[in-house]
Structure 1
Amino acid sequence: MILIVDDTPDNLISLKKVLEKHGFEVDTASSGEEALKKVLIQEYVLIILDVQMPGMDGFEVAEALSGISKTKDTAIIFLSAANTDTKFITKGYSSGGLDYITKPADINIILLKVKTFYRIYEQSRKLNEMQEKLLEEIEIRKKAEHKKDEFISIASHELKTPLTSVKGYIQLVERSIDKGNPAILKKHIEKANQQLSKLNDLITDLLDISKMESGKMVFVKKYFDIAKLLENVIEVLQHNNPHYQFIVDISSKGLVYGDEMRIEQVLINFITNAIKYSPGQHKIEIKSFIENNKLHVSVKDFGIGISEDQLSKVFDKFYRVDETSVHFQGLGIGLYISSEIINRHNGEIGVRSKSGEGAEFYFIIPVLEND
């Protein structure tokens, strides 16, 4: 918007009409005091300022404007009929003006200058936007690089831990062979197998991340029995965690369209996380129902919970809750993979939780084919 400041009404009206005719949005002020009040409320790209005015003259107005932070990028053109000497023109520039036009002025010249200043303003605005976006992109990449470095460090540690354990158990097996004690041998082999399973899970997660990044993760969608899938997963995990009470409410019956293996992967991730992050607790609630042709599945634990400021981040890649990362193993990518799987099913994934009050993870996907 352009602000014209002039104590002569005819000058205001004529210049305003010309500028509006050429598509400019124009505001007016009949004194320097009124102009200062208006700039505190409205932002202007350009101020066309008469020099000779009662009260505050144009130079005083320009100097006052220079002290207002919001007008630091506002261009000022002085118009003067009386003060046409070089000393006044020089004062105009030193007061903050970008141009000084003496009257009588050719309206076409004024219009040309206004268009030029507007073009410069638009170019400057676009350059500033590009600079802001570039700085934002640089900051995002610095966060991404930090997360990447942190992930590599965590992954190296997490992969070394089961490898070291397997190596240790193999050494124990070697020492126990000569003693001929099958029970001890079996115990060491079982422990080694547990560590190998953990290592396999970590590698599977890493491969899934790689496939997602390259767009090569394949989904094989078909209709499958959701109740049977849920029952099978719960049965296996209940067997592996006999000290936990699984409170199950499965009212979803029938076929659901999707990748059965990937949906199973999400469910297993939810339940194993519920067990991991609820030390000292022995109860997990699992619910499933179909409503309005959508499958709803939730897993609720009664463990450490998640603080409100971290809820929006738990599905981010490589994110690990700070206070839990020291106490719980993992790469911080299981929930990210789960969210990608549910997104590929045109579904919704989320969590409800409060710190110290457990967490309820859930997903919702369409029952029918809608690809």
Structure 2
Amino acid sequence: MILIVDDTPENLISLKKVLEKHNFEVDTASSGEEALKKVLRNEYVLIILDVQMPGMDGFEVAEAISGYSKAKETAIIFLSAANTELKFITKGYSSGGLDYITKPVDMDILLLKVKTFYRIYEQNRKLIEIQKALLDEIAFRKRAERKKDEFISIASHELKTPLTSVKGYVQLLARSVDKGDIPTVKKHLAKAQVQLEKLNELIADLLDISKLESGKLKFNKKSFSLDTLLEGVLEVIHHANPEFTITINGIPPKEIYADEMRIEQVIVNFLTNAIKYSPGTKEIQINIDTSENELYLGVRDFGIGIAPELQKSVFEKFYRVEETAIHFQGLGIGLYISAEIIQRHGGEVGVKSKLGEGSEFYFTLPLNPVHEVE
């Protein structure tokens, strides 16, 4: 928008008509004081400012405007018929003006200058947008680099822990075998097996994320019984965590069309997380709701919960909630992999949680998807 400032009504009307005829949006002010009030309220691309006005002259108005942060990008063209001496023109530029036109105004020259300033304004605006986008991208690179470094550190630690444990149990086994202490041998073997299983899960997650990033994670979709899948999963989970009671609310559909192994992977991830982040509790719920076209499956725990501002981030790669004094093992990629699996099935993932009251991680799947080959 253009602001024309002139104490002569005829000048305001004639300039306004010419500019509006060429599709410029125009505002007017009949004094310097009125112009300053308008500059505080509105944003202008250009101000056409008469030099000789009663009260505040054009130079005083320009100097005042130059002190407004809101108007620092606004161009000023001075208009004057009084004096064209070099000293007079120099004062105009030193007051903050970018150009100078003498009266009577040549409208063709004025229009040319206005169009030029508008073009410069648009170019500057685009440059600012590009600069902002570049700064945002650089900040995103830095965050990604920091997350990668954190992940490498976490992965090294998490992989080293079970390896160290296995090494220790193997040493204990060797001593127990020499002594012929079979009960102790069996005990150490069982503990070593647990640590090896943890190591296997960590490596499997690393392989999955590598396949996801390279586009090589394949899906073998077919029709299968969700009820049967849940029975098998619950048996394994209960065997490893006999202290937890897991109940199913709702009736699973007879069959769903998906990659059975990958859907099992997601459910197991949700259940193991529910147990991990629910110290001191003993109940987990699986909530199932089936509509005509969609399956909803949620895993509800009664553990530490997640703060609202953190919930949007839990499915991001390498993200780990570390809001308590308790240290939880893991690489921070299980939920990211789960989200990718569900999204590749045409479904969605999400979480509903209240801090201190537990969480429900859920996914939806279409029940009548197109049977494509992957």
On whether the aligned pair clears a TM of 0.5, the verdict is yes
Deviation at 1:135, TM superposition (A): 1.0
2:171 matched residue in structure 1: 171
Deviation at 1:268, TM superposition (A): 0.2
Query: Counterparts of 1:272-287 in structure 2 under 5 Å?
Result: 272-287=272-287
1:53 matched residue in structure 2: 53
Of 81-90 and 91-100, the range deviating more from structure 2: 81-90
Deviation at 1:190, TM superposition (A): 1.5
Q: Which amino acid in 2 is paired with 1:46? A: L
- Asked if 1:134 is matched to 2:164, the reply is no
Q: Which amino acid in 1 is paired with 2:10? A: D
Structure 2 residue matching 1:54: 3-state secondary structure:
coil
Deviation at 1:113, TM superposition (A): 0.9
2:252 matched residue in structure 1: 252
Of 248-257 and 98-107, the range deviating more from structure 2: 248-257
Structure 1 residue matching 2:67: 3-state secondary structure:
coil
Of 308-317 and 177-186, the range deviating more from structure 2: 177-186
On the 8 A contact 1:51/1:83 being kept in 2, the answer is no
- Return the alpha-carbon distance in structure 2 between the equivalents of residues 185 and 68 of structure 1: 81
2:241 matched residue in structure 1: 241
Label 1:219 to 1:324 Cα distance change in 2 as closer, same or farther (>3 A).
farther
Query: Counterparts of 1:324-343 in structure 2 under 5 Å?
Result: 324=324, 327-343=327-343
Of 226-235 and 88-97, the range deviating more from structure 2: 226-235
- Return the alpha-carbon distance in structure 2 between the equivalents of residues 326 and 97 of structure 1: 63
1:186 matched residue in structure 2: 186
Deviation at 1:296, TM superposition (A): 0.8
Deviation at 1:105, TM superposition (A): 2.8
Deviation at 1:139, TM superposition (A): 1.0
- Return the alpha-carbon distance in structure 2 between the equivalents of residues 230 and 23 of structure 1: 67
On the 8 A contact 1:78/1:99 being kept in 2, the answer is yes
Deviation at 1:29, TM superposition (A): 1.5
- Return the alpha-carbon distance in structure 2 between the equivalents of residues 222 and 32 of structure 1: 77
Query: Deviations 1:264-301 (Å, cap 9, x if unpaired)?
Result: 11100010011111112111111212113211111111
Q: Which amino acid in 1 is paired with 2:233? A: V
1:38 matched residue in structure 2: 38
- Asked if 1:318 is matched to 2:318, the reply is yes
1:349 matched residue in structure 2: 349
Q: Which amino acid in 2 is paired with 1:357? A: E
Q: Which amino acid in 2 is paired with 1:87? A: K
- Return the alpha-carbon distance in structure 1 between the equivalents of residues 176 and 250 of structure 2: 47
- Return the alpha-carbon distance in structure 2 between the equivalents of residues 83 and 261 of structure 1: 86
2:77 matched residue in structure 1: 77
2:214 matched residue in structure 1: 214
Q: Which amino acid in 2 is paired with 1:26? A: V
On the 8 A contact 1:352/1:360 being kept in 2, the answer is yes
On the 8 A contact 1:19/1:26 being kept in 2, the answer is yes
Q: Structure 1: where are the runs of 5+ without partners? A: none
Structure 1 residue matching 2:236: 3-state secondary structure:
helix
Of 217-226 and 161-170, the range deviating more from structure 2: 217-226
Of 168-177 and 71-80, the range deviating more from structure 2: 168-177
1:152 matched residue in structure 2: 152
Structure 1 residue matching 2:19: 3-state secondary structure:
helix
Query: Deviations 1:198-230 (Å, cap 9, x if unpaired)?
Result: 101001111111111112211222222112212
Deviation at 1:13, TM superposition (A): 2.1
- Return the alpha-carbon distance in structure 2 between the equivalents of residues 316 and 368 of structure 1: 28
**Identity percentage of aligned residues:** 70
Structure 1 residue matching 2:323: 3-state secondary structure:
helix
Deviation at 1:324, TM superposition (A): 4.4
- Return the alpha-carbon distance in structure 1 between the equivalents of residues 92 and 323 of structure 2: 61
Deviation at 1:137, TM superposition (A): 1.0
On the 8 A contact 1:227/1:250 being kept in 2, the answer is no
Query: Counterparts of 1:284-299 in structure 2 under 5 Å?
Result: 284-299=284-299
Query: Deviations 1:80-118 (Å, cap 9, x if unpaired)?
Result: 011322222111111100011111232111111111111
Count of matched residue pairs: 371
